Amino acid sequence: MVRTRKRPDEDAVAELQRLGVATVHEAMGRRGLTEPVLRPIYPGARIAGRAVTVLSQPGDNLMIHACIEQCGPGDVLVVTTTSPSVDGMFGELFATQLAARGVRGLVIEAGVRDVADLTEMGFPVWSKAVSAQGTVKATPGSVNVPVVLAGVRVEPGDVIVADDDGVLCVPRLEAPEVAAKAKEREANEQAKREQFRAGVLGLDIYGMREKLERLGVTYVDDDEE
């Protein structure tokens, strides 16, 4: 059980949350995106916050109970298991405790339950499965250690960004630079958006006509009416 004060830059976290997973992922060089097995339990949620990590045994949520006192305002709880699991390790009572401590949401590479209650209370969760299968509280694990979340290494204190497009991990020390690059990308996309609205095609903006020609793509007119 590691106690840590490592926190990412709060201004950067706010920008990363506003900009969202797709924009930040592109700005970061297409790194840090978890496998698409992690999906939100309801649409429209968007969060970013400091990762508090939990490594549990499959089918055992003891360490989720143990980690809650390490969580605080602006955190995102990240839970993985030592081997694959889809058991319902997290539910509404956990969310009530975390919400009272200002935790922004949960990302878990296992199952959750009480989905209707979690949705009604507006507690964002990204999970691998939804399952009513209960768990035990019997085996120790670890809190605030490096974990692998759906193929991505997450260090305690990293920034977790999550929305309808998936879950992304931004290394803590990179957060300000990534946020700045993502803002630049946002501005660039807005300029293109205005051109698209004016009728300009992506073929021309991105110089794709020349690429098609180099690749041997030809245009043939169909004379049949």
Per-residue pLDDT tens digits for 99-156: 999 999 999 999 999 999 999 999 999 999 999 999 999 999 999 999 999 999 999 9
> Within 34-174, where are the H helices?
62-67, 92-100, 115-121
**Stated pTM of the model:** 0.95
- For the purposes of burial, counting CB atoms within 10 Å of the CB of 198, is it exposed (0-12), middle (13-18) or buried (19 or more)? exposed
- Residue 207 has φ and ψ, to the nearest 5°, of 65, 35
Which tokens sit at 175?
Answer: 């957060």
- Would you state the pLDDT for residue 210? 95
Question: What average pLDDT is seen over the chain?
Answer: 97
- Would you state the pLDDT for residue 107? 99
The C-alpha atoms of residue 55 and residue 75 are separated, in whole angstroms, by 16
Q: Mutual orientation of helices 10-19 and 175-197 as an angle, nearest 10°?
A: 30
- Would you state the pLDDT for residue 169? 98
- Would you state the pLDDT for residue 7? 97
- Would you state the pLDDT for residue 224? 77
- State which residues of the chain have pLDDT below 50: none
Q: Count of alpha carbons within 13 Å of 221, Cβ hemisphere only?
A: 2
Please tell me whether residue 151 adopts helix, strand or coil conformation: coil
12 in Cβ contact with 158 (< 8 Å): no
